C-alpha cells in the first residue's frame, strides 16, 4: 500500500490509475508509480548538476531496479517494512523511495517535503526513512519528534553533507544511520557511510559498484546503476580501498588561495563546532572571493545581521583551529541563505543577492 497524504491506495488501484480524491500535489508521484507498475522501460530525470550543467537524462528500468535491489541487499530488507517518503517527488531521491516501496512490497507514507517531516507521523515506527540534513536536524531539535526519530530502524541522510555536531547527535540514535553518496546520474546512492563510526565518514560501495580516480583525484563510477558505463564526477576523494573512500569536496568549489588548494567542505567540518558557538542555528557556508594578491581568499558567508565584533572574534578563534594558510580572511553576513528543493545550500543564488 501507498498513502499519499492521507489517502490510502492499493497497488491495484495505482496500476489501474484509480486516483479517487488524490490531492493534486501528489499527481506526479502517483503517475510515476502507475507507469512503473505498467512496465514502462525508460524514464526522464532532471539532474542537479553534480557532474556538469543540469539537464534531462534518460535512464532504463534495469538501472533503477539495480539500485533498488542493491539497497535491499545492503539493508537486508523484509517484506512489509514501513517506509516514509518526505522528499521532493520531482527529484531522484523521492522517486526512488516510491520504487523501493513497490519493489520491496513495503508500506509507504508519502508526505510533501517539510522542515520537520515527523511532526504528524509520530505514531508510526518506520523501518526505512531518507532525509536531508536540515530535516534530521529539525527532528532532533524537537523533543517529540526526536523520540520518533529514535524509533527509525534505518535512516539515510543525503542531498548534502552533515556537519560534525549533527554527526555526533545522530550517532546517539538507536537505529542505524548512514550518510549516502550518489546523484541523479547514478540513480540515487551508490555508497553509504556509517555515521556512528568514529572519525571521518568512510563510504562503502553497494554491491556491483566499481570505483577509480582520475589524475586530479576526482571519482569515477561504474555500476549497473550507470548502465555499466564509467561516469566521471566532480567529487574529489581519498581512496581507502577499491570499494571505499573519503569524500573531500567538490572540484568546482575548490579555492586556490596563493597556490594552496582549499576544500570549503573540509573547513566546514573543522569549524562547525565554532560556527554553532558563535552563530547558533544559523545557516552558513565557506567560499572563495577574488583577491588581487592571493587570486582567491577564503570567506565565511553567514545568515544573519551584520555584527563586526562577533565576526572578528570568530575569525580570531578560527586561527587556533586551522593552519594559517587555510584561515578564513573575512566574514560576510547575508539576509537569507537560499536552499534548493533537495535541501542543499544554493551558493550562487545566495551570493547573487549579496551587495559587496
Query: What does the block give as the cell for 224?
Result: 549497473
Judgement on whether residues 272 and 242 belong to the same structural domain of the protein: no
As a whole number of angstroms, the distance between CA 132 and CA 352 comes to 24
List, in sequence order, every residue forming a beta bridge with 219; answer none if it has no partner: 213
pLDDT band at 195 (very low <50, low <70, confident <90, very high): very high
Judgement on whether residues 213 and 340 belong to the same structural domain of the protein: no
For the four alpha carbons of 219, 160, 182 and 27, in that order, the dihedral sign comes to negative
**Residue 14 domain-assigned (yes or no):** no
Q: Percent of the chain at pLDDT above 70? A: 96
Q: Which of 342, 68, 28 is nearest to 187 (CA)?
A: 68
What pLDDT score does 50 carry?
A: 47
C-alpha distances in angstroms, 79 versus 100, 103, 127? Answer: 11, 9, 11
Query: Which residue range is the domain that position 293 belongs to?
Result: 254-352
Judgement on whether residues 217 and 107 belong to the same structural domain of the protein: yes
Judgement on whether residues 206 and 224 belong to the same structural domain of the protein: yes
DSSP 19-49: -TT--GGGHHHHHHHHHHHTT--EEEEE--S
- 138-180 pLDDT, tens digit each: 999 999 999 999 999 999 999 888 888 889 999 999 999 999 9
Helix (H) or strand (E) holding 108: strand 107-110
- 107-110/154-157 β-pairing: unpaired
**Residue 291 domain-assigned (yes or no):** yes
What pLDDT score does 354 carry?
A: 67
Q: CATH number for the domain including 335?
A: 3.30.300.30
As a whole number of angstroms, the distance between CA 156 and CA 203 comes to 13
Judgement on whether residues 222 and 280 belong to the same structural domain of the protein: no
Residue owning grid cell 540514535: 173
Q: Is the pTM of this model over 0.75?
A: yes
- 250-306 pLDDT, tens digit each: 887 888 888 888 888 888 888 988 998 999 888 899 998 888 888 899 999 999 888
Q: How many CA atoms lie within 13 A of 6 on its CB side?
A: 2
Q: Are 103 and 65 in contact (CB under 8 A)?
A: yes
Q: Are 190 and 221 in contact (CB under 8 A)?
A: yes
As a whole number of angstroms, the distance between CA 79 and CA 69 comes to 13
How many other CB atoms are found less than 10 A from the CB of residue 8?
13
- 291-318 pLDDT, tens digit each: 888 889 999 999 988 888 999 999 999 9
pLDDT band at 340 (very low <50, low <70, confident <90, very high): confident
Q: CATH number for the domain including 95?
A: 3.40.50.12780
Query: What does the block give as the cell for 113?
Result: 517535503
As a whole number of angstroms, the distance between CA 173 and CA 170 comes to 6
Q: Are 200 and 246 in contact (CB under 8 A)?
A: yes
pLDDT value at 356 more than 60:
no
Judgement on whether residues 59 and 196 belong to the same structural domain of the protein: yes
Residue owning grid cell 563546532: 273
- 51-82 pLDDT, tens digit each: 445 678 899 999 999 999 999 999 999 999 99
- 37-56 pLDDT, tens digit each: 999 999 988 876 544 456 78
- 84-112 pLDDT, tens digit each: 999 999 889 999 999 999 999 999 999 99
Judgement on whether residues 85 and 120 belong to the same structural domain of the protein: yes
- 198-249 pLDDT, tens digit each: 988 999 999 999 999 998 889 999 999 999 999 999 899 999 999 999 998 8
Helix ranges restricted to H, 89-211? 92-104, 133-140, 143-150, 164-170
Q: Which of 208, 224, 250 is the last residue of a domain?
A: 250
Amino acid at each position: 500500500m501507498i498513502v499519499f497524504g492521507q489517502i490510502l491506495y492499493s497497488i491495484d488501484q495505482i496500476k489501474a490509475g484509480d486516483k479517487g480524491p488524490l490531492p493534486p500535489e501528489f499527481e506526479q508521484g502517483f503517475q510515476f508509480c502507475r507507469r512503473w507498475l505498467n512496465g514502462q522501460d525508460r524514464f526522464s530525470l532532471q539532474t542537479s548538476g553534480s557532474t556538469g550543467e543540469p539537464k534531462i537524462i534518460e535512464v532504463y528500468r534495469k538501472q533503477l531496479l539495480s539500485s533498488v535491489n542493491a539497497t535491499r541487499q545492503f539493508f537486508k530488507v523484509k517484506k512489509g517494512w514501513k517506509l516514509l517518503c518526505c522528499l521532493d517527488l520531482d527529484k531522484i531521491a523521492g522517486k526512488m523511495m516510491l520504487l523501493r516501496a513497490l519493489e520491496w512490497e513495503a508500506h509507504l507514507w508519502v508526505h510533501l517535503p517539510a522542515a520537520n517531516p515527523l511532526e504528524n507521523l509520530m505514531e508510526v515506527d518506520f523501518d526505512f526513512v531518507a532525509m536531508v540534513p536540515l530535516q534530521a536536524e529539525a527532528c532532533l531539535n524537537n523533543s517529540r519528534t526526536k523520540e520518533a526519530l529514535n524509533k527509525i530502524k534505518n535512516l539515510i541522510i543525503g542531498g548534502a553533507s552533515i556537519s560534525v555536531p549533527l554527526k555526533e547527535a545522530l550517532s546517539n540514535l538507536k537505529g542505524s544511520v548512514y550518510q549516502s553518496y550518489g546523484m541523479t546520474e547514478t540513480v540515487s546512492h551508490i555508497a553509504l557511510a556509517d555515521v556512528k563510526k568514529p572519525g571521518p565518514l568512510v563510504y562503502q560501495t553497494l554491491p556491483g559498484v566499481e570505483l577509480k580516480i582520475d589524475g586530479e583525484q576526482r571519482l569515477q563510477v561504474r555500476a549497473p546503476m550507470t548502465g555499466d558505463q564509467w561516469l566521471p564526477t566532480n567529487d574529489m576523494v581519498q581512496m581507502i580501498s577499491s570499494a571505499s573512500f573519503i569524500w573531500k569536496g567538490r572540484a568546482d568549489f575548490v579555492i586556490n588561495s596563493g597556490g594552496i588548494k582549499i576544500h570549503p567542505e573540509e573547513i566546514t567540518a573543522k569549524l562547525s563546532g565554532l560556527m554553532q558557538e558563535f552563530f547558533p542555528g544559523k545557516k552558513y557556508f565557506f567560499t572563495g572571493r577574488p583577491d588581487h594578491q592571493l587570486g582567491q581568499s577564503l570567506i565565511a558567508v553567514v545568515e544573519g545581521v551584520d555584527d563586526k565584533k562577533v565576526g572578528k572574534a570568530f575569525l580570531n578563534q578560527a586561527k587556533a583551529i586551522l593552519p594559517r594558510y587555510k584561515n578564513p580572511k573575512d566574514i560576510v553576513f547575508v539576509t537569507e541563505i537560499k536552499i534548493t528543493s533537495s535541501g542543499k545550500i544554493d551558493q550562487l543564488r545566495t551570493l547573487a543577492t549579496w551587495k559587496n
